[in-house]
Amino acid sequence: MSSKIKSVVFIIGLLFILPNLISQNQAREVSNHSITAFYVFGDSYVDPGNNNYIGSIAKSNFAPYGIDFVNQKATGRFSDGKVIADFLASYLGFENYVPYLDPDFTIQAKPAVGFASAGTGFDNRTAAVLNVIPMSMQLEYFKEYKAKLASTIGQEEADNQTTSAVFIVNCAVNDFAINYYGLGNVVGHPDGTTIEQYEEFVLQLLQEFVQGLVELGARRIAVSGVPLFGCWPNVITLYSSDPVNPLVTRNCNETLNSVGSDYNAKVQEALNTMQSSLANQGLKVAYFDTYTPMLNILQNPANYGKLQNPGTQVLTSSISYFLFVCLFVGFDVINKGCCGTGLLEQAVLCNPHSAICSDRSKYEFFDSVHLTEAASSVIAGANIAAINYITN
C-alpha cells in the first residue's frame, strides 16, 4: 500500500473516532482546573535554564541554542526550542515554564517551575563532574520554595497547592553516561562496582528522592527512566570499538542501550511497588517513558517528526491536530546532531560560530546529546497517557 493511500485510509478512519477524541479532550480541559502547579526536577532534558545562574560550563544560554524558541532567545534550554517539560506545561494549562534560580522568579499563582539542572544525576558524584545541581539539592530548593510559598499564601494553601500539583522527575542517564562509564569507557567502574550494583544504587537514590517529594506533600508524580543514550551522537562517536563506526556506519552502542533497558525495567517495578504501598495516602505515580519513543524514532524515523504542541490549544481542536499528525514530515537525521559536525558538539562547543542545519525539524538531535524541539514534542506526546493517569 502506497504512503498516499495509507494517509487517505488513516484520515477516513479519523472521521469515525474524532467525536470520541473531542469528548476526551473536553474532559482533559475540565480536569486541568484542579492542577494547581507544575514542578520539574532532573537534568538537561527538562532544565529551563537553572545552570545560567551557577558556576558551571554546562550552559546553553547562547546561540545557536534557542534559535526556534520565542524571539529566538537562548534561555539555557539545551535545544533549538522547547524541551519536554515545556510541552507538558502547555498541555496542563501553564503559560510559562521558568527556572527556579532565575533572580526574577517570584512566588505566583499556578506556577510551572523547573528545579532541574543540566548534567546532574541522583549520584552526587555525577553532579560534581560539571559542578551542577545534584538531585539532593533540587529537593532542598523545593523545600525552600515551599517555605516561601507558605509565607506568602499560608501553610494550608501551600499544602493544598502541593497536593494538587503535578511533579515530573527526569533523571539518571548522566549517572551512567558521565559517571559510571565515563567518557568513552564501557568496561566498568574504576572502584569495581558492577553495572548491576550501580543500577541498584541509582534506583535506591531515585526511590529516596520520590519519597522525599511524597513527604513534602506531592501526590501526582511522573518518573522517568533513562533515554536511549546508546544512540546519542556523541556516544556513537566516542563509545565505539569499531574504527569505522564513529564516522561512517554510526550504529548505536547496544551495550549502553541494554543498560538503559534493564534499569528502566527496574524503575517501573519500583514505581509499581511504591504505588501499591502508598495508594492509601492518595499517591498516583506513573512511569514516564523517554526510551521507547526514541527507539521508535530509531526504527521508523519517517513515521515520526515535528508535531504541533500537544497542549490545550491543540487538543481543543482534535481535527486540526490529528490531520497535522497524519501529514507531518518524518525525521531524516537520527545519528548526528544539527550543530557543527553533529558528532561531538554540545554546550560551549555548540556556539555562535558553529554551523547549524537549516531545518531542525528533520533532526532528532540538536547537538550531540540533546533533542530538537521536534523530538521533544514526540516524547511529550507519547507520555500524555501517563500524565492523564496521575491527574484524573
- Supply the residues annotated as catalytic: 44, 367, 370
Residue 309 neighbours by CB distance under 10 Å: 18
CA distances from 95 to 21, 46, 49, 113, 315 (A): 24, 16, 16, 11, 15
Q: What cell does 387 get?
A: 500524565
Q: Rounded to an integer, what distance in angstroms lies between the CA atom of residue 290 and that of residue 237?
A: 22
Q: Rounded to an integer, what distance in angstroms lies between the CA atom of residue 379 and that of residue 361?
A: 14
Kindly state the helix (H) or strand (E) to which residue 365 belongs, with its residue range: strand 363-365
Beta bridge partners of 333: 363
Q: Going by DSSP bridges, is the β-strand pair 284-288/166-170 parallel, antiparallel, or unpaired?
A: unpaired
What is the residue type of 321?
Y
Closest C-alpha to 75, from 145, 28, 149, 85: 85
Helix axes 254-278, 195-215, angle to 10 degrees: 40
Q: Rounded to an integer, what distance in angstroms lies between the CA atom of residue 172 and that of residue 367?
A: 20
Which DSSP category does 125 fall into? H
Q: What cell does 291 get?
A: 526510551
